[in-house]
């Protein structure tokens, strides 16, 4: 049994002038139970710094550009088991209001759509780790959570 943690990143892009959050809608993938909303992000590549990975993933998925120095770590989620079946991972969630570019669906083979969503009316269903991170960020709650360690049989369930 491997004890290594995989690393993932997400970016909450908060356009504070309009109070909207950049969201992406994943299509059905081999590792998901169905289409679901999330925030931009992905895997950290070997040897890559997590803030650099976050900026890269944001640009790859949405076309938005952010400098790693403009990212603020706001939440960390330890996930017991990902939908891909490869074991636990750590998700580092950054936030920024400093970005350039237009929000576009830069990976249409992966995403059904991308859109700005009102911070008070986030779309669903959403990946639970994304919903947890967004709720913590928006409420100023503690910046660490675990997911799937409580033995709940439905921790793969998407959250409305």
pLDDT band with cut points at 50, 70 and 90 for residue 48: very high
Could you read off the pLDDT of 96-127 as tens digits, one per residue? 999 999 999 999 998 999 999 999 999 998 88
DSSP assignment of 90-157: EEEEEEES--BS----S-TTTEEEEEEEETTS--SSB-HHHHHHHHHHHHT--SEEEESTT--TTTT-
The per-residue pLDDT for 143 is: 81
Average pLDDT value for residue range 28-33: 64
152 pLDDT exceeds 70?
no
> 13-147 sits in which CATH class?
alpha beta
Peptide bond between residue 83 and the one before it cis (omega within 30 degrees of 0): no
- Please tell me the predicted confidence (pLDDT) of residue 6: 86
With 60 as the cut, is the pLDDT of residue 146 above it?
yes
Residue spans per domain, the chain: 13-147
Q: What is the pLDDT of residues 64-100, one digit of tens each?
A: 999 999 999 999 988 776 656 667 788 899 999 999 9
């Amino acid at each position: 049994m491997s004890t290594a943690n995989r690393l993932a990143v997400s970016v909450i892009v908060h356009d504070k002038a309009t109070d909207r959050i950049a969201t992406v809608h994943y299509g059905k993938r081999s590792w998901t139970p169905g289409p679901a909303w999330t925030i931009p992000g992905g895997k950290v590549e070997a040897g890559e710094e997590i803030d650099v990975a976050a900026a890269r993933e944001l640009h790859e998925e949405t076309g938005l550009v952010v400098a790693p120095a403009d990212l603020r770590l706001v939440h960390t989620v330890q996930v017991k088991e990902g939908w891909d079946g490869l074991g636990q991972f750590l998700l580092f969630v950054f936030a920024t209001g400093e970005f350039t570019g237009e929000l576009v669906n830069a990976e249409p083979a992966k995403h059904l759509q991308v859109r700005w969503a009102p911070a008070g009316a986030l779309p669903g269903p959403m990946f639970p780790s994304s919903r947890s991170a967004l709720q913590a960020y928006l409420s100023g709650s503690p910046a660490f959570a675990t997911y799937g360690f409580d033995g709940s049989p439905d921790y793969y369930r998407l959250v409305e």
